[in-house]
Amino acid sequence: MKLLVILSFFGITAMADTYQYTIEGMSCSGCKNMIKSAVCGLPGIKSCEVEIGSMKLISEDGKTLDQAAITKALDELNKKNKEDYKIAKATKVDEAKPTTAKHADHK
């Protein structure tokens, strides 16, 4: 919270934390729905897209994704449903930087 105030003070827009995950053990839309209900409701997540074998999460502005909570949610889901979902890869996605407008060559 303090950090957010400082960032706003300096006029820096607080950015969201975006991650793309590769998930092993998913094979159908049932898996997709289970992971969705286990992960998408976690606090601090603004956008949650789950596909078979992957998911993309975006935090609320100025917050970071709680990776431990996400892993824990999957672990609990595995235990409850005897599944074996596992995050094989987590890649931080850089926010699209504002593209400097390139002037088209008018000839």
Segment lying near Cu ion (by CB under 5 A), choices 4-12, 29-37, 71-79, 90-98: 29-37
User: Taking CB under 5 A as the rule, does residue 33 contact Cu ion?
Assistant: no
> How far are the Cα atoms of 35, 49, 87, 94 from residue 77, in angstroms, in the given order?
8, 18, 13, 29
Name which position in 4, 6, 8, 30 contacts Cu ion (CB under 5 A): 30
In angstroms, rounded to a whole number, what is the distance separating the alpha carbons of residues 94 and 22? 17
Beta carbon nearer to Cu ion, 28 or 68: 28
Identify the helix (H) or strand (E) that includes residue 78: helix 67-81
Binding site for Cu ion (CB under 5 A): 27-28, 30-31
